[in-house]
Amino acid sequence: MLKIPVIKGNIERALKLFKRKFKKTGTLKEVRERKNFIKPSLKRKIQKEKSIKRDKYKRDNDE
């Protein structure tokens, strides 16, 4: 559970801090992944395709 102190009544700052910490935990990402089941073989295929795209992008932009 995230606990964010509100200093001097500055709610906006506390909310910004909360959002940043919540994003780092990856909770929302995990919930979205669990919403629909993806077979492990399909996960590996998608990950491999992303890796190839990333690598190609890096090679094209280095030159």
pTM above 0.75, yes or no: no
Please indicate, yes or no, if residue 16 is contained in any of the structural domains: yes
Please indicate, yes or no, if residue 15 is contained in any of the structural domains: yes
Place of tokens 């990856």: 26
pLDDT single digits (tens) 13-25: 999 999 999 999 9
Please indicate, yes or no, if residue 45 is contained in any of the structural domains: yes
Please indicate, yes or no, if residue 21 is contained in any of the structural domains: yes
Please indicate, yes or no, if residue 1 is contained in any of the structural domains: no
What sign does the CA torsion over 14, 17, 23, 26 have? negative
Residue 14's contacts (CB-CB under 8 Å, 6 or more residues apart) are: 4, 5, 6, 7
Please indicate, yes or no, if residue 3 is contained in any of the structural domains: no
Please indicate, yes or no, if residue 52 is contained in any of the structural domains: yes
Share of the chain above pLDDT 90, in %: 83
Please indicate, yes or no, if residue 5 is contained in any of the structural domains: no
Range of the domain at 21: 11-62
pLDDT band at 63 (very low <50, low <70, confident <90, very high): low
Number of domains in the chain: 1
